[in-house]
Structure 1
Amino acid sequence: MQGENPLECAKRELREETGILIDDFIEVGRVLHQKHQTYYVNYLCHTDVDKDSIVWYYFDENGRVVTGDQEINVQELHFDENGVQTKGGFATDAEGHKHSYDAKTGDLEDEDGAPVEA
């Protein structure tokens, strides 16, 4: 955001996008884009968080966590009864059909492992 301290912005973005709170950042570079009058600052941080332990939730327009089968931004996704997105696993729908979900994206997969388009 305009006027925001670059380090505070990096911390905020990391927290918003991953839920990870960390203060140990190292500045590794700066770039000034003259035409757009934009100043970029690059940071590096190290964390011991296991990426496979990160879970994803989705909140509806009322701020409530969603559960079950959901179509979100043209993706067919599933969230368990606690609201955790199913990634790299299986879930059974309301009709009793078992479905597979991609390990990285969480996309619903067909029998061949290809994403199912919403």
Structure 2
Amino acid sequence: MWEATAGGSALQGENPLECVKRKLREETGILTDDFIEVGRVLHQKHQTYYVNYLCHTDVDKDSIVWYYFDENGRVVTGDQEINVQELHFDENGVQTKGGFATDAEGHKHSYDAKTGDLEDEDGAPVEA
């Protein structure tokens, strides 16, 4: 797993290993202690220090689900247009991927297994 994002920073007093464990748990729900440090990079221009880890886990990648939160921090449900994608989230807020959902008018729609994009009858993504 490689990550270098603005939201991926260590908390004050947290060492790099504690940080990567916390970020993996927060972003995926995966709990593990099986990390191997594979490198360190000092980016002088940005005054940033990156520590890179490899994580071994037996978590089925298809068991990881996606949620989207609105501007008030509430999980969204139903049909949503997000970043020019037509997506669907079930009643618990889990994004529909590789499955079907029925809209308010009773129409059944198909969603791509990898991206979650709404698909047309030919399996092509529907543009928002």
> Could you say which TM-score interval applies, normalised by the shorter chain?
0.7 to 0.9
Q: Percent identity?
A: 97
Q: How many residues align?
A: 118
* CA offset digits 1:8-28 (Å, max 9, x no partner): 222232123212122221111
User: Could you tell me how far 1:3 is from its partner in structure 2?
Assistant: 7.3
Deviations 1:56-97 (A, max 9, x none): 222223333221111122211101122221100111111111
Equivalent position of 1:53 in the other structure? 63
Given the two structures, how large is their TM-score scaled by the length of structure 2? 0.79
Indicate the residue corresponding to 1:94 in structure 2: 104
Name the CA distance, whole Å, in 1 between partners of 2:90 and 2:26. 22
Task: Classify 1:65/1:38 alpha carbon distance in 2 versus 1 (closer, same or farther; 3 Å).
Answer: closer
Q: Secondary structure at the match of 1:84?
A: coil
Query: Could you tell me which of 97, 113, 118 is aligned with 1:108?
Result: 118
Where in structure 1 do 4 or more consecutive aligned residues deviate above 4 Å? 1-4
1:4 aligns with 2:33: no
The RMSD of aligned alpha carbons is: 2.0
Gaps of 5+ in 2: 1-10
Q: Distance in 1 between matches of 2:72 and 2:97?
A: 24
Q: Which runs of 5+ in 1 are unaligned?
A: none
